[in-house]
A and B are shown apart, each in its own frame.
Chain A
């Protein structure tokens, strides 16, 4: 019945098929095979990554819910909890940029409000091919419009993120969407189907044929049949989701439901089997009762549909009327489609016939976990070291070229298309080191940073992984926030290739090590493999989303210089490190190492010092040094303002000038402060054993930099401001 071709179409190997037959003691029918193909796909089962993900620290005193649910939950005091998660929507976003990105936002929002939390912010980590290619431009334009279209309509602010460009993303853009929600601690809900006989409710949009095999698609490489995959991409309806969000939060607030799960990837299949498996129960549903948008859908199609904006709810019988009343108020379907059983099986009926009868644990938990082969992947260019890089004859043009490169230029063209102020909590506007969302009726605020550096992880995945965590935390510390927890999105190539698997394993170990050092638990995340098109893989790209707490929002500072005459101090030590820098990549066309060294103990000391100084109110500004090094950090401090401000810098360190300006040594923060507060800062720094240097002062109309006696550049800040601001709009020929 089930032949080799059918198995291939479903992405199931011969061995896996044998295992399925062993588990259910018979041949599955086609619908059942479809169910296994989704739940045993890489996207749903984590079969290649599971053995490695165990290395992440997942517990801590503030953790209410770690990995395994729709989102992680962290206690933030005052009876409140932060609920957050990151998800990738890479494959759909390339096939259909607008809808791919839009449904990515819709999916992550559902993950958050399924837990009983109101989504209060989203951020996006985006990676595209160079904008010199029209296809990349249209993908970027579509993705940004899609994020805007969904987020703006539903009313959740898109408050920040990152955008990066590299040729490796040309045929495989990365779209990672992070969402943060806020819940009352006692009102958190889980994906459970408890109590034999309790009704199972289907709520939200009707089911159509869209998105069938979406999860399987996201688990394979793209060949030349890309266009044929378009029908696999779902179409989003943010208005419907807004209704669903309000209705779900209302029934949860009134405690009318026992368990709830969104129908995201793998739709009805995933929600029914996971809810039952989590509770050790079974579920029985009748497909004739499912609200359907199209006629003549087969059981296979209904079970595998990934139509958006749908949820599954289990409630007590006596509460059903009240639940339905709430959904009716919001003009949504809420239909009983089945009940909880004690069989531990998923049983599906259609037209009176049983069409599926599968043990839920086999579907959810018993997918084989693979310890895939690994083989070190050393980019041949690694051997190139900084002594092979000639010293530039002049620096001004290099500085300006970096400032206007799309990866480093102002992203206002992107974020002004996002409603980033709705909900009136956005205390720091996009463009700073991290986003800050104040919590009304408290003194607190939550800060969020999304960060990853694929150049580092390409050259050295382990150190790159460590740096990604360190930098995301450093971003938070620059605003005075204490990191609390982390979620990550791990974007890699084909895990069946040993070199890719090695990159993955190394990066995970680096991230795990840094998370332990910072004592921040990983509360969940997402793995996206098969980011390859026509045999070319993306650079390994782990993206870290770190959430931090600001106890007193009145102490909040921002990265830009504030007024003329302030003293500029560099916290941390600069080493002669040019490896894996944007400077090497952009100016010398070299993607090579070694990546900067990172000492996590020093990193922690620098960050703690910065947070302390902020809490004592002695800093005017703080900005972390990362891509583009000191030069770009200085530029941003001068231009991240309505009207730019200049500065005069005197550097007296005996290392290569280009390393000093553009090197990306870790664990450094640039701060500005009033002269009267200098002594207080230096005392704190000495106590913390953090090296520091006074490097200049703010003010004037130029950015003026000297290295010993030599003028490196003296450029009108207005010129830098224009180049930095206009780079991306000019690419799109708009003002």
Chain B
């Protein structure tokens, strides 16, 4: 499968994401420069983590105006798979491809740590290789990951099973302590209505190598590949 990793000038997880896709998962993967207009026939577009344009305004606020993002938007609206990781999630919110917004973490500090997340929905292109309720150990690293949306939207999101991951305890239970950044309903990963666009705050590319502590992130990449091969 062909994975296009979008590079904004301040992306800094672009190399890690490419490495996880190309060298660990063995997929044909390449960078897409933000100033270009061509998605190079990618089957899946990945918006990696980082600080797209420095993020001195709101995280991801400027990235949505870059030339390539128009292509990404059209690609998503026509059903193409788009995965936004961390800053990529923030960009997807700014683009309007996903509902809601991000606030500062509840402790007002940057947080870098492993977190357990629970899979809420396995019938998605991004989680079909996981088991319902399975707990994955994947690192987070962000300042603005405190998900927020209005109550009406929240209801819709739940009704339509758009919540993919929630911050949980290692045993899968939910708690305020486990919800490290204070996200509404502990939301860690979210789909659009059509379920072809997903944003997640944890970094699956950082959980792709046993030497570094976890390979749980591979479930997400493998799910995408499985979906593209079988269900598309």
Q: A427-B211, A438-B211 are in contact. Are A242 and B112 (CB under 8 A)?
A: no
Contact call A152/B141, Cβ cutoff below 8 A: yes
Q: A423-B16, A424-B212, A427-B212 are in contact. Are A239 and B10 (CB under 8 A)?
A: yes
Contact call B110/A421, Cβ cutoff below 8 A: no
Q: A153-B10, A238-B54 are in contact. Are A424 and B209 (CB under 8 A)?
A: yes
Among B13, B35, B205, the most chain A Cβ lie within 10 Å of the Cβ of B13
Question: Which residues in window 196-226 of B have CB below 8 A to A?
Answer: 203, 205-206, 208-209, 211-213
Contact call B139/A242, Cβ cutoff below 8 A: no
Complex-state Cα separation, A423 to B19, whole angstroms:
10
Complex: chain A residue closest to B113, CB-CB: A416
Contact call B9/A148, Cβ cutoff below 8 A: no
B13 CB → nearest A CB, Å: 7
A580 CB → nearest B CB, Å: 35
Contact call A416/B112, Cβ cutoff below 8 A: yes
Question: Which residues in window 30-73 of B have CB below 8 A to A?
Answer: 35, 49-51, 53-56
Question: Which residues in window 410-462 of A have CB below 8 A to B?
Answer: 415-427, 429, 438, 440
Question: Which residue from A242, A421, A556 sits with its C-beta under 8 Å from B141?
Answer: A421
Among A155, A329, A421, the most chain B Cβ lie within 10 Å of the Cβ of A421
Contact call A734/B54, Cβ cutoff below 8 A: no
Complex-state Cα separation, A153 to B19, whole angstroms:
20
Contacts of B143 on A, CB cut-off 8 Å? 152
Question: Which residue from A145, A239, A330, A415 sits with its C-beta under 8 Å from B53?
Answer: A239
With A243-B10, A421-B139, A424-B205 already in contact, 4 other A-B pairs whose C-beta atoms are closer than 8 Å: A153-B10, A417-B110, A424-B19, A426-B212
Query: Residues 311-334 of chain A: 1 if any B CB is under 8 Å from the residue's CB, otherwise 0?
Result: 000000000000000000111000
**Chain A to chain B contacts (Cβ below 8 Å), 7 pairs:** A145-B109, A152-B110, A242-B9, A242-B12, A417-B109, A422-B12, A424-B20
Contacts of A553 on B, CB cut-off 8 Å? 211
Question: Which residues in window 101-155 of A have CB below 8 A to B?
Answer: 145, 148, 152-155
Contacts of A242 on B, CB cut-off 8 Å? 9-10, 12, 51
Complex-state Cα separation, A419 to B112, whole angstroms:
5
Contact call A422/B19, Cβ cutoff below 8 A: no
Question: Which residue from A420, A422, A438 sits with its C-beta under 8 Å from B13?
Answer: A422
Contacts of B9 on A, CB cut-off 8 Å? 239, 242-243, 246, 330-331
B104 at the interface (CB under 8 A from A): no
A221 at the interface (CB under 8 A from B): no
B26 at the interface (CB under 8 A from A): no
Complex: chain B residue closest to A420, CB-CB: B112
Contacts of B141 on A, CB cut-off 8 Å? 152, 419, 421-422
B103 at the interface (CB under 8 A from A): no
Contacts of A424 on B, CB cut-off 8 Å? 16, 19-20, 205-206, 208-209, 212
Contacts of A427 on B, CB cut-off 8 Å? 211-212
Complex: chain B residue closest to A556, CB-CB: B211
B2 at the interface (CB under 8 A from A): no
Contacts of A145 on B, CB cut-off 8 Å? 109
Contacts of B56 on A, CB cut-off 8 Å? 239
B159 at the interface (CB under 8 A from A): no
Question: Which residue from B109, B110, B213 sits with its C-beta under 8 Å from A419?
Answer: B110
Complex-state Cα separation, A237 to B54, whole angstroms:
8
Contact call B112/A418, Cβ cutoff below 8 A: yes
Contacts of A240 on B, CB cut-off 8 Å? 54
Contact call A734/B107, Cβ cutoff below 8 A: yes
Q: A424-B205, A427-B211 are in contact. Are A417 and B111 (CB under 8 A)?
A: yes
* Residues in chain B within 8 A of chain A (CB atoms): 9-10, 12-13, 15-16, 19-20, 23, 35, 49-51, 53-56, 107, 109-113, 139, 141, 143, 177, 203, 205-206, 208-209, 211-213
Complex-state Cα separation, A152 to B12, whole angstroms:
9
Contacts of B209 on A, CB cut-off 8 Å? 424
Contact call B54/A153, Cβ cutoff below 8 A: yes
Complex: chain A residue closest to B7, CB-CB: A246
Contacts of B15 on A, CB cut-off 8 Å? 423
Contacts of B213 on A, CB cut-off 8 Å? 429
Complex: chain B residue closest to A440, CB-CB: B19
Contacts of B51 on A, CB cut-off 8 Å? 152-153, 238-239, 242
Contact call A421/B112, Cβ cutoff below 8 A: yes
Contacts of A416 on B, CB cut-off 8 Å? 109-113
B144 CB → nearest A CB, Å: 12
Contact call A154/B12, Cβ cutoff below 8 A: yes
Complex: chain B residue closest to A424, CB-CB: B16
Complex-state Cα separation, A153 to B86, whole angstroms:
13
Complex-state Cα separation, A735 to B49, whole angstroms:
26
Complex-state Cα separation, A239 to B209, whole angstroms:
29
Contact call B53/A155, Cβ cutoff below 8 A: no
Contact call A421/B206, Cβ cutoff below 8 A: yes
Contacts of A329 on B, CB cut-off 8 Å? 35
Contact call A421/B212, Cβ cutoff below 8 A: yes
Complex-state Cα separation, A477 to B107, whole angstroms:
37
Complex-state Cα separation, A550 to B16, whole angstroms:
22
Complex: chain B residue closest to A445, CB-CB: B211
Question: Which residues in window 618-646 of A have CB below 8 A to B?
Answer: none
Complex-state Cα separation, A677 to B143, whole angstroms:
46
Contacts of B16 on A, CB cut-off 8 Å? 422-424
Complex-state Cα separation, A695 to B24, whole angstroms:
43
Contacts of A426 on B, CB cut-off 8 Å? 212
Complex-state Cα separation, A419 to B113, whole angstroms:
8
B10 CB → nearest A CB, Å: 5
Complex-state Cα separation, A154 to B10, whole angstroms:
7
Question: Which residues in window 361-388 of A have CB below 8 A to B?
Answer: none
Complex: chain A residue closest to B13, CB-CB: A422
Sorted nearest first, the 3 A-B pairs with minimum C-beta distance are: A155-B12, A239-B54, A419-B141
Contacts of B112 on A, CB cut-off 8 Å? 152, 415-421
Contacts of B206 on A, CB cut-off 8 Å? 421-422, 424
A559 CB → nearest B CB, Å: 15
Complex: chain B residue closest to A144, CB-CB: B109
Query: Residues 242-257 of chain A: 1 if any B CB is under 8 Å from the residue's CB, otherwise 0?
Result: 1100100000000000
Complex-state Cα separation, A155 to B9, whole angstroms:
12
Contacts of A440 on B, CB cut-off 8 Å? 19, 23
A244 CB → nearest B CB, Å: 11
B7 CB → nearest A CB, Å: 9
Contacts of A246 on B, CB cut-off 8 Å? 9
Contacts of B212 on A, CB cut-off 8 Å? 421, 424-427
Complex-state Cα separation, A240 to B15, whole angstroms:
19
Complex-state Cα separation, A422 to B111, whole angstroms:
13
Complex-state Cα separation, A418 to B51, whole angstroms:
14
Contacts of B55 on A, CB cut-off 8 Å? 153, 239
Query: Residues 209-224 of chain A: 1 if any B CB is under 8 Å from the residue's CB, otherwise 0?
Result: 0000000000000000
A28 CB → nearest B CB, Å: 40
B21 CB → nearest A CB, Å: 12
B221 CB → nearest A CB, Å: 14
A638 CB → nearest B CB, Å: 20
A364 CB → nearest B CB, Å: 35
Complex-state Cα separation, A246 to B14, whole angstroms:
12
Complex: chain B residue closest to A429, CB-CB: B213
Complex: chain B residue closest to A734, CB-CB: B107
Complex-state Cα separation, A513 to B27, whole angstroms:
53
Contacts of A239 on B, CB cut-off 8 Å? 9-10, 51, 53-56
Contacts of B113 on A, CB cut-off 8 Å? 416
Complex: chain B residue closest to A158, CB-CB: B112
Complex-state Cα separation, A420 to B114, whole angstroms:
11
B98 CB → nearest A CB, Å: 23
Complex-state Cα separation, A415 to B109, whole angstroms:
11
Complex-state Cα separation, A243 to B112, whole angstroms:
23
Complex: chain B residue closest to A239, CB-CB: B54
Among B12, B35, B54, the most chain A Cβ lie within 10 Å of the Cβ of B12
B200 CB → nearest A CB, Å: 16
B43 CB → nearest A CB, Å: 23
Complex-state Cα separation, A453 to B135, whole angstroms:
43
Complex-state Cα separation, A106 to B112, whole angstroms:
20
Complex: chain B residue closest to A438, CB-CB: B211
Complex: chain B residue closest to A553, CB-CB: B211
B151 CB → nearest A CB, Å: 27
